[in-house]
Chains A and B, each alone.
Chain A
Amino acid sequence: MSSPILKIENLQAKVADEDLQILKGVDLELNQGEIHAIMGPNGSGKSTLAKVLAGHPGYEVTGGSVTFEDENILEAEPDERSQAGIFLAFQYPVEIPGVSIANFLRTALQAHSGDEELDLFEFQDLLMEKMELLDMDPTFAERPVNDGFSGGEKKRNEILQMACLQPKLALMDETDSGLDIDALQIVANGVNKLREENPEMSVLLITHYQRLLNYIKPDHVHVMVQGRIVQSGGPEVALRLEEEGYAEWQGIEAAAGEVG
């Protein structure tokens, strides 16, 4: 097998400008086309991991390494990581008043095509094709980005962006949070359709709950507690967590904390 698309070794990170260590040595390997889920209780650092991978300026990497397609990405700016093929679906998508989704996506795709002028007709076709794939009303693209959107609409907008930018690696940060079951299914269906279109896309799902995994089937499940991955396995890990919760891990971690 070829080398993993994403390789994280002993990654440590803290909040920038603060003495608050969050990631305390994360190891993870993800191969092309695989879906991995990272589960963990609140405050375990799983969202931080997603943000650090995307280059969020609020965190400082204090140790370890991350390679994406064998390239060290930790020095790259967020826009460079995006252009390399990493996409972060936000837990809390940000409002950009006055900027339509179409305009926003056109600007993003132009950035991805570099010096080459984006063909507006091709862009329009791509946008319409992806909206149709995701069962979205074309008027959605005329609305200002996330401005006045419901929770479900914001998440669908993230999926639409993912569809248009066609990343090699999608980081999905608690995409299920704040969604009712209908909205959750719509979003999960969207992700599955994109995967059908492009089976080579790798996905890292960050989630607190097992329920998302009923709709998007992971190949591997990792449990993260207090800044470390404490268990990895197949889908059965998620099911066990569903029954038993995180209490066991938190107990172990608390004990480890006392010793260390």
Chain B
Amino acid sequence: MPVNETVKDLNLDEYKYGFVDEEQHVFRTEPGLSEEVVRQISKHKDEPEWMLEFRLKALEIYESKPMPKWGGDLSGLQDTLDEIYFYVRPQDRMEHSWDDVPEKIKETFQKLGIPEAEQKVLAGVGAQYESEMVYHSLKKEWDEKGVIFDSIEDGLKKHPELFRKYFGTVIPTADNKFSAMNSAVWSGGSFVYIPPGVELDTPLQAYFRVNQELMGQFERTLIIAGEGSRAHYIEGCTAPTYSTDSFHSGVIEIVVEKGAHFRYTTIQNWSNNMYNLVTQRALVHERATMEWLDGNLGSKLTMKYPSCYLIGEGAHGNILSIAYAGDGQHQDTGGKIIHAAPNTTSSIVSKSISKGTGRSSYRGLLQVHDGARNARSNVECDALLIDETAKTDTYPYIEIDEKSAHIGHEATVSKIGDEQLFYLMSRGMAEEEAMALIVRGFIEPIAKLLPLEYAVELNRLIELEMEGSVG
């Protein structure tokens, strides 16, 4: 059909946010990772001695650990790691008001389609441009409530005791090779503290973007939700596209104290050559609730399994995950729940969409420790295949050491079928439109939990990815 040919000619299936800003960094390390690089990062950030030691120890651990053999194909990764810059700083100072943000960076946000008005309304946006916050303002109300929402660097400088008490306690350096790497070279990310009893109606948002060829991004986020508090943190990012492989490895640590309720929402849309290896974990105390809402688009390979350690009686963990694997992409995602206390409950809902040569894998771990009486968990993973060549697989690991546990697991695979397409087309919709509608319906159970602007963005991103998928 002529319409589809036009779409193909425009080549809309390529990465949509692949524009590049002229680089404006003021300092970067030599390519590759070494003790010298780690020392330079620490020196540049003017860190206390203990942090330098922490980083150097992490480097040792990183070097001692072998490359993982499971998950996705990491065989090309070492070459990438030898070439990338582990630290780049774009600017010398933090921005506190929108007016102070350089035009170049505002342009970038405009290209991403985030209206300035929306940013102002949402307020408290911490935007990470390259490795550091450039724009960070906090709602007055939050200041009054004692909420801390800073860059991770400022967290360390301004709140050293609080920082040191929790940093590296949720995800120990030695947890895995990439948490060790992040611990050695981390830069950028958020430090959030919600005092006990404080409830925030407006989400805390960090919108950031990797913007330099061959630059690794190692953001580190530490969040403490005090007893009985209630808050929602949203992070979204999109990176420009480059011909060489790029790398992202974040570590997100969250402590949800007794009776608190915390939700962490991520929508990531990386360029197609990105290795995206992220460790994110929450410690969930007595009667507290942690919710991960995790959306993964783009990248060459994503390995990401948000986890909840339910360590207090009656704790609840909830993981909702959406993955979209387009041509040449592998999304190896899912979640981990550890029931380590009685009467804990959890659920994992994972939805993946694969197209062309894309592959989505669900990888989940569900553990119930001995003595975690009456634990209940339900896991549901649904995969949607757009065409004949797309692939999906599931790796559900379940380890139960407690007889009283109630566990449910359900997995479905569906394919957009000829009958479904014919049905929609017989109502007047073009094939591409019909596919998009089916996909929107598929992710609707998760999209409806997002704030409206993010739900719209998620739908738009997926539609952009799907354009040109016909014919």
Residues of A near any B CB (own CB < 8 A): 54-58, 77-79, 81-83, 87-88, 90, 93-94, 96-99, 103-104, 107-109, 111-112, 144, 161, 165
Which residue from B418, B419, B426, B441 sits with its C-beta under 8 Å from A54?
B426
Complex Cα distance A105/B431, Å?
16
Measured between beta carbons, the chain B residues less than 8 angstroms from A58 are: 418, 422
Q: Please name 5 further chain A to chain B contacts, defined as beta carbons within 8 Å, in addition to the given A79-B429, A111-B433, sorted by A numbering.
A: A78-B422, A98-B444, A99-B438, A112-B428, A165-B427
Looking at chain B's contact residues, is the secondary structure mostly helix, strand, loop, or mixed?
helix
Measured between beta carbons, the chain A residues less than 8 angstroms from B443 are: 98
- Chain B, interface size category, equals 20 to 34
Say yes or no: is B19 at the interface (Cβ < 8 Å to chain A): no
Instruction: Give the residue among B427, B440, B442 with the most A Cβ atoms within 10 A.
Output: B427
Say yes or no: is B461 at the interface (Cβ < 8 Å to chain A): no
Smallest Cβ distance from A247 to chain B, in angstroms?
A: 33
Closest chain A residue to B438, Cβ basis: A96
Say yes or no: is B437 at the interface (Cβ < 8 Å to chain A): yes
Closest chain B residue to A54, Cβ basis: B426
Closest chain B residue to A16, Cβ basis: B418
Complex Cα distance A87/B424, Å?
11
A57 to B418, Cβ gap below 8 A?
Answer: yes
Say yes or no: is B1 at the interface (Cβ < 8 Å to chain A): yes
Say yes or no: is B231 at the interface (Cβ < 8 Å to chain A): no
Complex Cα distance A93/B425, Å?
13
Which residue from B1, B418, B430, B441 sits with its C-beta under 8 Å from A99?
B441
CB < 8 Å A-B pair total: 79
Measured between beta carbons, the chain B residues less than 8 angstroms from A79 are: 425-431
Complex Cα distance A242/B261, Å?
67
Within 8 A of A (CB), among B387-442: 418-420, 422-431, 433, 437-438, 440-442
Complex Cα distance A55/B430, Å?
13
A78 to B426, Cβ gap below 8 A?
Answer: yes
Closest chain B residue to A57, Cβ basis: B418
Residues A55 and B426 in contact in the complex (CB < 8 Å), given A77-B1, A96-B441: yes
Say yes or no: is B445 at the interface (Cβ < 8 Å to chain A): yes
Against A, the Cβ 8 Å flags (1 = close, 0 = not) of B101-113 are 0000000000000
Measured between beta carbons, the chain A residues less than 8 angstroms from B442 are: 97-98
B445 to A98, Cβ gap below 8 A?
Answer: yes
Instruction: Give the residue among B423, B433, B445 with the most A Cβ atoms within 10 A.
Output: B423
Measured between beta carbons, the chain B residues less than 8 angstroms from A111 are: 427-430, 433
B427 to A77, Cβ gap below 8 A?
Answer: no
Smallest Cβ distance from B325 to chain A, in angstroms?
A: 19
B441 to A82, Cβ gap below 8 A?
Answer: no
Within 8 A of A (CB), among B430-468: 430-431, 433, 437-438, 440-445
Smallest Cβ distance from B143 to chain A, in angstroms?
A: 41
Smallest Cβ distance from A155 to chain B, in angstroms?
A: 14
Measured between beta carbons, the chain A residues less than 8 angstroms from B420 are: 94, 96
Which residue from B423, B425, B429, B441 sits with its C-beta under 8 Å from A97?
B441
Smallest Cβ distance from B233 to chain A, in angstroms?
A: 26
A161 to B422, Cβ gap below 8 A?
Answer: no
In order of increasing CB-CB distance, the 3 nearest A-B pairs are: A98-B441, A98-B444, A99-B441
Measured between beta carbons, the chain B residues less than 8 angstroms from A83 are: 428
